[in-house]
Amino acid sequence: MSETEATPAVPSAKTPEFRSDVTVELVRSSAHDSDVLFAARVSTMGELTLDGAQASADGAQATKGAGLINYLMRDRHGSPFEHNSMTFYVQAPIFVFREFMRHRMASYNEESGRYRELNPVFYVPAPTRNLQQVGKPGAYDFLPGTPEQSALVDEATRAASTQAFEAYQRMLDAGIAREVARIVLPLNIYSSMYVTVNARSLMNFLSLRTKREGTHFPSFPQREIEMCAEKMEDLWAELMPLTYAAFGANGRVAP
Ligand X SMILES: Cc1cc2nc3c(=O)[nH]c(=O)nc-3n(C[C@H](O)[C@H](O)[C@H](O)COP(=O)(O)OP(=O)(O)OC[C@H]3O[C@@H](n4cnc5c(N)ncnc54)[C@H](O)[C@@H]3O)c2cc1C
Give dist(CA 168, CA 183) in Å, integer. 8
Q: Which is nearer to ligand X, 105 or 187 (CB)?
A: 105
Smallest separation (angstroms) from ligand X to the CB of 254: 8
**CB-nearer residue toward ligand X: 150 or 215:** 215
Residue 86 or residue 121: which is nearer to ligand X going by CB?
86
Cα 189 to Cα 18: distance, rounded to the nearest angstrom: 9
**Cβ-proximal residue to ligand X, closest one:** 104
Question: Minimum Å distance from CB 126 to ligand X?
Answer: 21
Q: At its nearest, how many Å lie between ligand X and the CB of residue 156?
A: 24
27 neighbors 89 (Cβ within 8 angstroms): yes
**Cβ atoms within 10 Å of 224's Cβ, excluding its own:** 20
51 vs 75, beta carbon nearer ligand X: 75
Q: What is the DSSP letter of 168?
A: H
Can 74 be counted among the known catalytic residues? no
Q: Residue 79: count other Cβ atoms within 10 Å of its Cβ.
A: 12
- Point out the catalytic residue in the list 182, 200, 209, 252: 209
Binding site for ligand X (CB under 6 A): 102-105, 201, 204, 208-209, 219-221
Contacts of 74 (CB under 8 A, 6+ apart): 246, 250
Locate all alpha helices (DSSP H) within 10-146, ordered by sequence: 33-45, 50-57, 66-74, 94-100
Cα 245 from Cα 252, distance rounded (Å): 10
Partners of 139 in the beta sheet? 136
Minimum CB separation of residue 229 from ligand X in Å reads 10
Give least dist CB 138 to ligand X, A.
8
From CA 133, how far away is CA 116, in angstroms rounded? 37
Strand pairing partners for 169?
none
C-alpha span between 213 and 205 (Å, rounded):
17
For ligand X, the closer of residues 76 and 102 by Cβ is: 102
Cα 22 to chain centroid distance, Å, stands at 9
Catalytically annotated residues: 209
